[in-house]
Structure 1
């Protein structure tokens, strides 16, 4: 089963693992109003917890029959509001859509930093070393592209670096491999694969050095879904937390699942997991520090002031607080 669409058949209604459990998810009865969930996400390391959680049966053991879909990210909030998607792992996208009147709500966080990493050719060695060089970046005004521009500006080299925007990750990798770029800015799973293709290339900026902590991935549902399906909503949050825990343990089962879902070799999976240890959290409750960072980023990307109070309205942490208390992760 590869990344893109993952389907899991519903079997006995049972609950998943916690930190004190064995490496495989454990079982207990589950009770949900809705079992079939179509969840919107993106392919890649930042969503590994979701792919591994579904593939490993954690959602299933909480009574959920989950299918992962990967539509265009910009379409996900409206699809969640309409009900063609019951949930999404795109908390940042949903938060901004909420501010524009789309009736979606973020109910839990799994990722607090995205895994974008800077890989450069031999001899560059640092961000400042990119002066006079070409950096391949994602196309468009995405958050990762805005962040690397800010980093280049902080290092005083933004005007001296040629940015080469390219839409598809495989096209970016091909350009880097062919020598048309001196560095590439991509999520860690892509970087882990790419580093092998260009002899002497090295990571000069990892995600922890590059990324401010703010809500990155998690759980978004519609306001109507939360009201009608409180048990299902909590089961989704519980599954999210247990999936993060299971992945971060790095058991043979978890690593095998991540290798399969992200199409990684064992050493590529090891590098990816090492990065995700800094980027994921098993506490689903978002705090004001994260929300303040989100407000600051929204203000920069939109060109208008976005306040902490405005961002707070896109989050309902009551169910996550209860789940965190039940699991002891808060």
Structure 2
């Protein structure tokens, strides 16, 4: 089973930093600070981040982006609020929108990370499982990375469309889902890529539900999130980061092979495994209308108490 050893280094980052000679220097025309610390998950969602770093897109913008791996985006939330990391990539929108509503974090979305695409996250069961249809999931134990979040939100919507009951969710980090499924600790797992394909190959797990099917097709699931304080204090830095990510997202969209080349470098998958992974969609721009689909679904399922206008959260 894939082993992902990842920790968040809770170290505050200095505001300054040396600019690169071939990029804008900090000052009137360049970023206010060159060093950005980004907490990131080992998911296919983050491919543009690594592409931007690998191809010098951040450097061209005068940025020194330092990536710190984390197992769950929620782990990095305290560090973001304290300024110990500047941005969280693959930030699960549900968690951060809830934190924003509660007043525990003043969220700003720098850029979209990924949107749902067919089979980029699936509900998997053991090959010999008695669970044969979505209706059989009612009352069964299903592993998700974080409770009351994007996985359960989207699966609940799919089940509601089919008119069937909900499972019981269990919080299990992505790297531990395989062992939990093998040991019978859960009946099914809701796994995104690259864990989805790995579990199918290594455990011969069977796809029960396409997590990218109607009514959640193309719905935004993650983004690059910072705080209002950071965005206000460093607007040129934020804009430079946005430009690099937008360029990388365009590359990822136009050349999926570039993503597949990146995955083995940070997601602990082999080049052969990377060839068959189902990739999410990588939007170049952030669409508040699409984000509204997510907030409306959250409100419907009780994960938000009042309507949210996503446009007010975007860093422009």
Match of 1:127 in 2: 134
Secondary structure of 1:291 counterpart: helix
Q: Distance in 1 between matches of 2:30 and 2:267?
A: 31
Return the offset for 1:132.
Answer: 8.4
- What is the TM-score with the length of structure 1 in the denominator? 0.73
What corresponds to 1:140 in structure 2?
147
Aligned twin of 1:64: 63
2:78 equivalent to 1:73? no
Q: Distance in 2 between matches of 1:44 and 1:63?
A: 26
Q: 2:177 aligns with which of 162, 172, 177?
A: 172
What is the alpha-carbon distance in structure 1 between the residues aligned to residue 127 and residue 32 of structure 2? 55
Counterpart for residue 287 of structure 2:
286
Q: Aligned residue for 1:209?
A: 213
- Asked if structure 1 preserves the Cα contact closer than 8 Å seen for 2:98 and 2:303, the reply is no
- Structure 1 unaligned residues grouped into runs of 5+: 16-29, 319-330
Which position in structure 2 is the counterpart of 1:221?
A: 226
Q: Indicate how the Cα distance of structure 1 residues 242 and 139 shifts in structure 2: closer, same or farther if over 3 A, else same.
A: closer
Is residue 95–residue 106 contact of structure 1 (8 Å, CA) maintained in 2? no
Alpha-carbon distance in structure 1 between the residues aligned to 2:139 and 2:313:
42
Secondary structure at the counterpart of residue 124 of structure 2:
strand
How far off its partner does 1:35 sit?
A: 0.7
In the TM superposition, residue 44 of structure 1 has moved relative to its aligned partner by 1.7
Match of 2:252 in 1: 247
Structure with the largest fraction of helix: 1
Q: Mark the CA change 1:126 to 1:96 in structure 2 (over 3 Å): closer, same or farther.
A: same
- What residue is the counterpart of 1:99 in the other structure? 101
More displaced 10-residue stretch of structure 1: 46-55 or 30-39: 46-55
Q: How many residues align?
A: 291
Cα distance, 1:208–1:142 mapped onto 2, change above 3 Å: closer
Task: Kindly indicate whether the alpha-carbon contact (under 8 Å) linking 1:219 and 1:237 is maintained by their aligned counterparts in 2.
Answer: no
* Separation (CA, whole Å) in 2 of partners of 1:209 and 1:118: 11
**Equivalents in 2 of 1:67, 1:220: separation in Å?**
15
Offset, 1:196? 1.1
Is the CA contact 1:77–1:104 (under 8 Å) kept in the aligned structure 2? Answer: no
Partner residue of 2:44?
45
Residues 14-33 of structure 1: matches in 2 within 5 Å? 14=23, 31-33=30-32
Q: Give, in angstroms, the shift of residue 173 of structure 1.
A: 0.5
1:117 equivalent in alignment to 2:118: no
Distance 1:178 1:74, change over 3 A: closer
* Structure 1 residue 78 displacement after superposition: 5.0
Q: Secondary structure at the match of 1:31?
A: coil
Task: Give 1:235 deviation, angstroms.
Answer: 0.9
Preserved CA contact (<8 Å) 1:213 1:293? no
- Bigger Cα displacement from structure 2, 234-243 vs 179-188: 179-188
1:256 to 252, 261, 267: 261
Does the Cα contact within 8 Å between 1:77 and 1:97 map onto a contact in 2?
no
Q: Which runs of 5+ in 2 are unaligned?
A: 9-17
